[in-house]
Amino acid sequence: MDANYENRFRTQAINRLDRLDAGLARIYTYVKRNENDKALHFMDNELRDLYMGLEDIIKANRDTMGSQIGTI
């Protein structure tokens, strides 16, 4: 396997994980402020998109990287 390909995948996965982490922090802030309606709306929309983006990257690279990465 090409080292550049692995580095690209790693960079993309880390970026998506960072975005997901920021989204989770946003939900935490909403809940902490007792803005539960905003938290639920964010979870149903933006957070779902963030998760799906991470999942798409993993699925797209699973065939190429074989057993080196797992599934979500």
What is the arithmetic mean of pLDDT over 45-51? 95
What is the arithmetic mean of pLDDT over 3-26? 91
Tell me the pTM: 0.77
pLDDT at 55 over 70: yes
- CA 58/CA 39 separation, integer angstroms: 26
Three-state secondary structure call for residue 45 = helix
